[in-house]
Amino acid sequence: MQKVLVADDDDNIRKIILHYLRKQNINPLEAEDGQLAIQLTFEKKPDLVILDLMMPEKDGYDVCREIRKFSDVPIIILTAKGEEFDRVLGLELGADDYMVKPFSPRELIARIKAIFRRVEKISVSTEKEKYFTYDYGDVQIDVDRREVIIKGNNITLRPKEFDLLVHLAKNPGNVHTREVLLEQVWGYDFIGDIRTVDAHIKKIRLKLKKLGCDVLQTVWGVGYKFKL
């Protein structure tokens, strides 16, 4: 049974979400503060985390940052804050999706299911692609070992960053829109924020440029491509 951690200091919000999760035969976990959310994510290894931004002990931003140090579990930020800055910051810290209170529990469940489909799809796709290696001179990508070597140096990418780079490297020179990347890499129909893609591309670029590599090109108004 899939597990979802609901981290929110509002008892009523937690009860509503837990109710809908149980109706979908999803095993719910709950945390009323940020520190407990980190602890439960580490110990119980949920399949997804629903994370409120404004919590005691540690706020959602700190929780997201700490979780990303040891886990790539999908995170949906759920908060009363709706400003663009808050959304972008949450995505840059590693969140996968963003919903603003008040929210529709049914929409939240739909997004959770979409992410679960994405995870399953990516697992199948990764299994099929094992033993593939992409060699573009200064850039080598070993899909089986999930390694990226730039000019002889290994770089560390988070799982989703690696999947995104591999997808772009598969078809060098082809332009991929953000919507297509969300569907193909994240594996769900476009219901998330396209800035999820931008945030991940930014992180990959920073890591590549430290080694003097600039293979990811922005095609303004369209998307991104891997350039040789």
Beta strands in 45-138 (DSSP E): 48-52, 75-79, 97-100, 133-136
pLDDT tens digits in sequence order for the chain, 228 residues long: 899 999 999 999 999 999 999 999 999 999 999 999 999 999 999 999 999 988 888 998 899 989 988 888 999 998 876 666 676 777 777 788 888 888 899 999 998 988 887 777 655 555 555 557 888 888 999 888 888 999 889 998 888 889 899 999 988 889 999 888 887 887 655 455 677 888 899 999 999 999 999 999 999 888 999 987
Give the whole-angstrom CA distance, residue 110 versus residue 187.
Answer: 14
Give the whole-angstrom CA distance, residue 82 versus residue 100.
Answer: 6
Q: Residue 190 has what pLDDT? A: 46
By the 8 A CB rule, do 55 and 8 touch? yes
Q: Residue 136 has what pLDDT? A: 87
Q: Residue 30 has what pLDDT? A: 96
Per 3-state DSSP, the chain is made up of helix, strand and coil in percentages (nearest 5) of 45, 20, 35
